[in-house]
Each structure stands twice: as structure tokens, then as C-alpha cells.
Structure 1
């Protein structure tokens, strides 16, 4: 990175983003020493304009921001720091300094995909997922069909709560089937993107 600290009087804005949820957590400022300490320790350190000193986020609360990556922008005068936060980020106790909840439930599907892939590689005994893989493609496909039919029944004659329950079962079994074929839900996302017309 060729950062232009002089452009903004020795301080560069650092946008802090959660590596998992992609939520913007806060904005701070770094001088060259703060950036160096951040890179050395792996914990985000800012330059406090009010205290006129370096401060590591979480040094008092324990709510550190563990660095995943640091990138500069096209003008080399702003940083994007992706982190894994430990606890709430804001001094008020909120998840972010913008009073947003730091979670994206849709990202659980990514975790679930990874979990099922791990089951496929390790095949632990006593696992329902393992038993599905061992039952073969035909049985896995049949389970997807059964859960799809149950979802249809709940959509037509059931409750929203039951529809969500059965649709979740269908999606789980579909991910298992895809995994057994060397595919992922991300492959489905790519296909849907291809079909999408703005």
C-alpha cells in the first residue's frame, strides 16, 4: 500500500467492516504508527484525536477487532479494514456505531454448506447427515422430493410457521444432495445470477 498520509494532515479514515456479515461497524482514524501497530498486533489500533495518542480498540473493554485484511482505496487515502469483532463494537454496547445489529441470517446458509461438506469428508458415526450420504443419491433425491411435497402441502393448507419448517428441511436435504454431487448452493446462486434480468 502506498498511502498518502500527508493528504489529510497525517490521519487516514479507516472503515471497519465485519468480515463475516459485511456490516460497517465503525469509522476511526489511523496515522502511520497506528497502522503499523495494527499490522504488527493483528488488532485494530487508531489514533485518538481527542486523547492525542494511539488506542487499541478493546484495550479496556476486551472487545478487540481482530484484523482479517487491510486494503487502501483508489486514492490511497482511506482504508478498508475487515475484522472479526470480539463482542459489541460501540462504547454504548451496540453491535455497531451506527446502531445496527451485526448479523445477516442469510449467511448461515454459507456456514451450513461448510458444515455439511465437513460431514461429507469426515463421515462421523451417528450423524444424520452421514446416514444420508451413505444412503446414496437416489435416497437423498427422494428426501428432497418428500420435503418439497410437504412444503407444498403446508403452503396450500397449512400455516406459515409449518411452511418455513418444511421448506427449511427441503433446503437442508437439497444442500446434502448437491454436496454429494460435488456442487454447492453457491452454484445455484451463480445460475440464478445468470438468469436475472434487471
Structure 2
């Protein structure tokens, strides 16, 4: 773990920071931290950077939901640059790419991206948004749509081919994600629950 007093900040009081995905080892982004940002990162366990253009702190994913949970942190041999190993929620780049160093849209981030977009719609409503319409109508409307889409999946499965089934499953997944956001259930909650069932699947 990094010790702040050992970090060699530059003449502007900043240190460059590379964020790397702890699972895929993809290099996600390069940003900067001042002492306060580094302190917050170490204290909270989530990456906070310093914007040189806005001259203010910014917590990664604070508005988009694409948070970076810090798994480990290191400085280099000169202690003037930092490497963060992170668990990336959604995409790392503001362009929508998985990494700032590639235009690859990671398949593993599709659900995360959709989930975080739904959160963003709830927190920052857009006029005419169907997602906002569901939140405005409340839990009963959302549950009704989940029920309707479940029925559509069953009907689609009874028909020939898979095109209709894929379409209906996608609709169901979307509405289930809306329900999760409404009830405060995260993708991590579901992943943990599924992981606990791993042995049951093997048996």
C-alpha cells in the first residue's frame, strides 16, 4: 500500500496515475492526483483524481456510475508515478470505450453500462425517456412490465427459431435492471449470489 509521504509529487503538486483492470490487466486510463485526491482514494477505496483543466477533484464514476474500486496501489522505483489495480464498473473512457487506450467495447461491460445508464436516467431525468417514465410510475408499473416481458419470453420460446426469443429476453433483462435500480440491488449483489451457487451447479 502506498504511503503518501513517500510520493514525489511534481512541481504542480501532482503525480501521474495509471489505472489497470485487476482482472483483464487492460490499461484503462492515465490521470493525475494531488495529495488530497490520493488521500481520498486510499481512505475510501475508490479512485479520486485531480482535473488539471477544471482544477478540482473528481471521483471517477461519480456521475456516470463507472466507479473504480481500488484493489491494490503501487508507486514506481522513483516514487513519482502510481499504478492502481482496479475493479472497473462499466467503461473507463468517456467515449464509451472500455479503455482510453483502445476503442474496444468490452462485452463484459455491456450489462454494467446499461445498469449505470439506468441509474443516470433515474438521477438525471430526460424528458421523453421511457426509463424515466417507469420510475415516475413507480414499483407497480415496473413489476407489471417485468411480468409482461416474462410472458413474452415464454411465448417466444415456444415459437420456431431464436430471433424472437433473443429480442424478448433482452426486453426482460432491461426491465429487470430497472427493477434492480428501483430497489437498490446492484449487479455485484447478483454476481455474489450466483457465485455462491457455483457448487450447486457442479453437483
Q: Into which bin does the TM-score normalised by the smaller protein fall?
A: 0.5 to 0.7
**Structure 1 residue 195 displacement after superposition:** 2.0
The equivalent of 1:119 in structure 2 is 121
> Could you tell me whether the CA contact under 8 Å between 1:116 and 1:129 is conserved in 2?
yes
CA distance in 1, matches of 2:19, 2:181: 30
Post-superposition offset of 1:172: 0.4
| 8 Å contact from structure 1 (residues 154, 163) kept in 2 | yes
Alignment of 1:138-177 (within 5 A): 138-177=140-179
- Cα distance in 1 for partners of 2:23, 2:187 equals 18
Write the distance in 2 (CA, Å) between the matches of 1:144 and 1:39: 43
The change in CA–CA distance for 1:39 and 1:173 in structure 2 (over 3 A counts) is closer
For the residues of structure 1 that align with 2:73 and 2:155, how far apart are their CA atoms? Answer: 50
How many residue pairs are counted as aligned between the two chains? Answer: 130
Aligned partners of 2:185, 2:118: CA distance in 1, in Å? 12
1:135 counterpart residue number: 137
How far 1:167 moved relative to its partner? 0.5
Q: 2:112 matched to which residue of 1? A: 110
Q: Report if aligned partners of 2:118, 2:178 keep a CA contact under 8 Å in 1.
A: yes
Cα pair 2:20 2:83 within 8 Å, conserved? no
Aligned 1:1-198 pairs, distance under 5 A: 19=21, 22=24, 24=26, 71=73, 85-88=99-102, 102-197=104-199
Inter-partner Cα distance in structure 2 for 1:154 and 1:20: 39
Cα deviation, residue 123, structure 1:
2.3
Following superposition, the deviation at residue 170 of structure 1 comes to: 0.2
Are 1:21 and 1:104, in contact at CA under 8 Å, matched by a contact in 2?
A: no
Change (3 A) 1:18 1:161: farther
Deviation at residue 115 of structure 1 after TM alignment? 0.8
State which drifts further: 188-197 or 139-148: 188-197
CA distance in structure 1 between the partners assigned to 2:20 and 2:160 by the alignment:
38
Note the C-alpha offset of 1:146: 1.0
**SS of the residue 1:22 aligns to:** coil
Q: RMSD of the TM alignment (CA)? A: 3.6
In the superposition, the TM-score normalised over structure 2's length comes to 0.51
1:145-170 deviations in Å (ceiling 9; x for gaps)? 11111111111214212211110100
Question: What's the CA shift for 1:23?
Answer: 5.1
